[in-house]
Amino acid sequence: MGAIIRDIISGRIRAALEEAQRRGVLPLQTVPEVAIEHPQNPRHGDFATSLPLRLARATRIQPMTIAEELVKLTSLGSELERVWAEPPGFVNFSLKESWLRDQLDAILHKGPDYAALETGQGTKVMVEFVSVNPTGPIHVGHTRGAVLGSTLANVLEYAGYDVTREYYVNDAGSQMEAFYNSLYARYCQALGRDEELPANGYQGDYVIDLAKEVIAQEGERYLSMPREEAVAALGEIGLNRMLEAIGDDLATIGVSFDTWFRERDLYQGKEYDEALELLRRGAYLTEREGALWFTPTSLGEDKDNVVVRSSGTPTYFASDIAYHYNKFAKRGFHRVIDIWGADHQGHAPRMKAAVSALGVDPESLVIIISQMVTLKRGQEVVRASKRSGEFITLRELVEEVGADACRYFFLSRTPETQMDFDLELAKQESSENPVYYVQYAHARIAGILRNAREQGIDWGDGDVSLLTNPNEIALVRKMVLLPELVENMARNLEPHHLPHYALELATAFHWFYERCRVLSKDPAHTGLSKARLKLVEATRIVLARTLGLMGMSAPEKM
């Protein structure tokens, strides 16, 4: 794909501004940034800028006068049909239909790579997401972050970034100790030995099932070991089984990782000691009450936090400091994006302060908080699993509504908003269900192209200049926005725009199809049929690419 059309227009208006400055029409010392937007009302064109309104105060010239001067100096080129001034001080742009039609051949030429960009220029980015303690199955709350992280990684990769998807395995600390001891207790109980579950232990049936699996494979041999040794051995088996189960569950919604990073490696290597030494040298550590505290007051944080307890054991925060030291200093990531659950919201400011204390630009660390999810069946809130009476797992959700519905609905809201997930809507096979509506558009397209091939039609020489119907042009207008959308999402880390774009594109296609006959047995319509088949194939490419970025399937039949 060449330049994004928005950027071409931005370049044109900037050139006009510089020319107006050169001629002395606009007395400006510097040329400001040019922001191009999409007007809500189609009557105002495809793009617009409010630049004249922004320049009015600095130049002491009326906004409409500035707008009219810029219109005179803006080149139309092959892309623009019209540029005009609109009160109270906008410059509006409409695209040329001939240019829009030409984009169909560009889309067909690029194929699956249409809208792939080089914005990232190979910048190393890590997206760390899910990263729940491996003490139980993935549940619905974790799934939202999984979908967000994997889609964001897809978008960044497509925009030219060098992306690593990482799962941080918290395999150290008190929660893991509680899990190990819970598994040991259930193992003993299953073999008839009286062993009490720890007070802070894991009550779920999955621990009982896991103990039975271990017995089936390993037998009773851990009963004869010293308790501490048996807990450690069983814990290692349990940890690996849980990680395997988590990986399998996440795979059901198309989520995978390049790296599973173990917390214990921070302590076995030098990262933990090196990170603390850096903080000491920067005078960010203070001993108080027998503990070691992180004191970031000089960084704008007014709350001290314990990094090493009086017992000598590091806190979760200490591990996180060492982990981010590893990400930036050891592995050289230019940018790190952490996607955390709502319960970690208070942890974000101190983590940014810690990164700054390590000598890393805190802007290089982006923390996205994914809020809670409420499952509903219509108006009824679903609070627990029918199967176990406990939390609803990711696997149960996928079994009920399917992976594509999970991905679409979890992605369709900004992560900072709480969301309701309607299980009944997600299963509907009707236009009310956006997942069905979007995928049906792709299946319908595939069916049209299949029928054309069966009829022996070769539309490769289709003449796109025959496409003059407003519904045809409206569909192309929607398609050419994908490169801009990819660039915006990568820059702002906002993949939630994808489902909305997919729905708009599907709507434009269904609208076109219901009003424009594609295949016709009338020889007089052969040329138009070929041109429309080109339009249909280009739509398939763009819609399939959009679904692919969301991690969803593009069905050939439904």
Nearest residue to 50 via CA among 90, 7, 96: 90
Q: If you ran DSSP here, which 8-state letter would residue 310 be given?
A: T
Exposed (0-12), middle (13-18) or buried (19+): which is 421, by Cβ within 10 Å?
buried
Query: Edge-to-edge, what's the strand order for the sheet holding 365-370?
Result: 259-262, 162-169, 124-128, 335-341, 365-370
Q: How far apart are CA 464 and CA 157, in angstroms?
A: 32
What are the tokens at 505? Answer: 């594109």
The residue extents of the domains of the chain are 5-95, 174-251, 431-549
Question: Which pLDDT belongs to residue 1?
Answer: 44
Backbone dihedral angles phi then psi of residue 144, each to the nearest 5 degrees: -60, -45
Please give, one letter per residue, the 3-state secondary structure of 59-99: HCCCHHHHHHHHHHHCCCCCCEEEEEEECCCEEEEEECHHH
pLDDT tens-digit readout, 104-159: 999 999 999 999 999 999 999 999 999 999 999 999 989 999 999 999 999 999 99
Hey, which residues does 420 pair with through a beta bridge? 374
The answer to whether 196 touches 184, Cβ cutoff 8 Å, is no
Residue 301, pLDDT score:
81
Task: Identify the three-state secondary structure at position 163.
Answer: strand
pLDDT attached to residue 29:
83
| Collapsed DSSP state (helix, strand, coil) of residue 556 | coil
Shared fold status for 5-95 and 431-549: no
Per the CB < 8 A criterion, the answer to whether 31 and 18 are in contact is: yes
Predicted local distance difference test score (pLDDT) of residue 491: 97
pLDDT at 521 (0 to 100)? 85
Amino acid at 451: N
- pLDDT under 70 in the chain at which residues? 1-2, 384-389
pTM score, whole prediction = 0.94
Contact 549, 498 (CB under 8 A): yes
Q: Residue 293 has which token pair? A: 């505290």
CATH class assigned to 5-95: alpha beta
CA atoms of 167 and 130, how far apart (whole Å): 7
Supply the DSSP string of 338-366, one letter for each residue.
Answer: EEEEGGGTTHHHHHHHHHHHTT--GGGEE
Helix axes 403-411, 140-158, angle to 10 degrees: 80
Q: What is the CATH number of domain 431-549?
A: 1.10.730.10
Q: Tens digits of per-residue pLDDT, 494-544?
A: 999 999 999 999 999 999 999 999 998 888 789 999 999 999 999 999 999
Q: Which two tokens stand for residue 447?
A: 């069916």
Please tell me the number of Cα atoms within 13 Å of 281 on its side-chain side: 8
Residues 6+ positions from 316 with CB-CB distance below 8 Å? 170, 173
Q: Nearest to residue 92, comparing CAs of 60, 59, 70?
A: 70
Strands (E), 183-277: 259-262
